[in-house]
Amino acid sequence: MRSAKMLTITGVLAASAMTLAACAAAEPTAVEPEGPVDLRMTVWTANEDHLALFDSIAEAYMAENENVTSITFDPLPFEDYTTTITTQIAGGNAPDLAWVLENAALDFVGSGALLDLAPTFEEAEGFDYDDLTDSATGLWRDGEGLYAYPFSTSPMAIFSNTTLLAEAGVPSASEQVAAGDWNWEEVAANGAAVKAATGKAGFIVRDFEYQQWDLLSTVWNGWGAQPWNDERTECTMDSDEMVDAFEFLHEAAFETGAMPGPGTTADFFAGEVAYTVTQISRAALLGEAGFEWELHPLPAGPAGEYSVFGQAGIGVIADSPNAQAAADFLAFFTNPENSRQLAQYFPPPRASLLTGETLAQTNPLLSAEQLDAVVVDGIATGVTRPTIEGSAEIQQAVRAQLDALWTPDADIPAVLTSVCDAMQPLIQG
């Protein structure tokens, strides 16, 4: 019997917690439903190209499985994604399948909310279960069980607007790399120059928007900082390395103008930013870009080169009356053939597909060399974005304390100390 831990819901349920899929005498066992099956999967993307590809795979599955009469992909806003899913589960409106973001992985895997997919995957014809890499699946395993398929293992990278950099009279990213200047100090300096010369933004961490603070791991890892120790028992947001990283960000936002300050939005893909930190799945937005652009790994920080990757797993809600049908569809959705199609947007966990040459076949906007440097090497050497049990409550607590940092005269060490004061009881609890 797996223990049923508590998964916190913030927002609607504030700091209260609920038990997800409490187990009884045995592990939840999926059974075949009687009659027609309608499946719903929550996703965080509303990109039309992504959804069209999902629909085409779903149609191919339904053509071979007449008992499944509809498969709906339900986009939810990224910023409230995990809260919305847990609220749906608590309210009896759970999806059959759900993308789970890496920062909530430990909660979902440990809660008993997700079905063990290993038996279905091992038995599915042509699935090739052994092709899944250990590094990509580790976050989603509990013992021999696999509780979500790591659908997208996507290293964070920097897209740069070569046209805008040239307009400001500063080197392109490729020129910085060639000169040995591909580091955050130079990126910030060039970003400030772009702001001064053009009025457009220097660099952004996409989706951060002064709320999704864990996305800043794409920067602070370059300083050797992390929010908690390796055992996830002690807050380290007040470490010297973290203070230095936030001083860099604060200077960029409030002194040099290299990064837009709070309340200011800028979209790289609309030509409004010189550099953006994001995942390669966003490359689809550049199909009709009106500017020249490049893709490179994250710049080095004071601690050297590093890589951070985001990861989304697809899990089957164990209590769904359609759980086995959902698992069967997921095995089809992520088989080698369909994984090859999906790889144009979402780097797969399959060893057979993790080469620059293979990924380039379905990524016409990116070269094999770019994909090797950013994706293949990034997955091999990188770490996931921060993840911890009780992530939703911790996210909210840290966000509330960090609000005080985003003012021109902030006392950064004091603010980060207050972050640990708020976080530590939640980690120990």
DSSP for 330-377, please give it.
HHHHTSHHHHHHHTTTS--SBGGG-SHHHHHTT-TTS-HHHHIIIIIH
Give the DSSP H/E element, type plus range, for residue 365.
Answer: none
Architecture of domain 35-154+310-384: 3-Layer(aba) Sandwich (3.40)
Amino acid (1-letter code) at residue 264: T
Q: How far is Cα 309 from Cα 367, in angstroms, rounded to an integer?
A: 19
Pairwise CA distance, residues 331 & 325, whole Å: 10
Task: Give SS3 for 299.
Answer: coil
Burial 302-334 (b: 16+ CB within 10 A, else e): eeeebbbbbbbbbbbbbbbebbbbbbbbbbbbb
Q: Choose among 239, 145, 158, 237: nearest CA to 191.
A: 158
Nearest by Cα to 262 from 48, 410, 148, 104: 410
Closest by alpha carbon to 315, among 13, 134, 100?
A: 100
Q: What does the pLDDT read at residue 429?
A: 56
In angstroms, rounded to a whole number, what is the distance separating the alpha carbons of residues 313 and 101?
7
CB contact set of 298 (below 8 Å; sequence gap of 6+):
156, 157, 158, 218, 222, 277, 306, 307, 308
Read off the tokens for 207. Answer: 């989706």
Query: For tokens 């909210």, what's the residue?
Result: 396
Residue 253's CB: how many other CB atoms inside 10 A?
A: 19
Choose among 248, 258, 249: nearest CA to 200.
258
> Quick one: which of 282, 50, 294 has its CA closest to 156?
282
- 429 residues of the chain, pLDDT tens digit each: 233 333 433 333 333 233 343 333 334 445 455 669 999 999 989 989 899 999 999 999 999 999 999 999 999 998 788 889 989 998 999 999 999 988 889 989 988 999 999 999 999 999 999 999 888 898 999 999 999 999 988 889 999 999 999 999 999 999 999 999 999 999 999 999 999 999 999 999 999 999 999 999 999 999 999 999 999 999 999 999 999 999 999 999 999 999 999 999 999 999 999 999 998 778 778 877 889 999 999 999 999 999 998 889 999 999 999 999 999 999 999 999 999 999 888 888 999 988 888 887 777 777 888 888 888 887 777 888 898 988 889 999 999 999 999 999 999 999 999 999 999 999 975
Q: Distance between CA atoms of 379 and 401, rounded to whole angstroms?
A: 32
DSSP three-state, residue 312: strand
100, 42 in Cβ contact below 8 A? no
- Phi and psi (nearest 5°) for 403? -55, -35
Backbone angle region of 383, left / alpha / beta, with phi > 0 → left and psi within -120 to 50 → alpha: beta
Report residue 294: phi and psi, to 5°.
-140, 165
Contacts within 8 Å (CB) and 24+ apart, 287-292: 287/365, 291/161, 291/162, 291/163, 291/164, 292/161, 292/162, 292/163
Q: What pLDDT score was predicted for residue 33?
A: 53
| β-strand partners of 383 | 308
Does residue 391 sit in helix, strand or coil?
Answer: helix
Length of the chain equals 429
Helix (H) or strand (E) holding 157: strand 149-161
> Which H helix or E strand runs over 110?
helix 105-111
The residue extents of the domains of the chain are 35-154+310-384
pLDDT value, residue 83 = 87
Q: What letter represents residue 47's amino acid? A: N
Query: What letter represents residue 105's amino acid?
Result: A
Cα end-to-end span (Å), the chain: 23
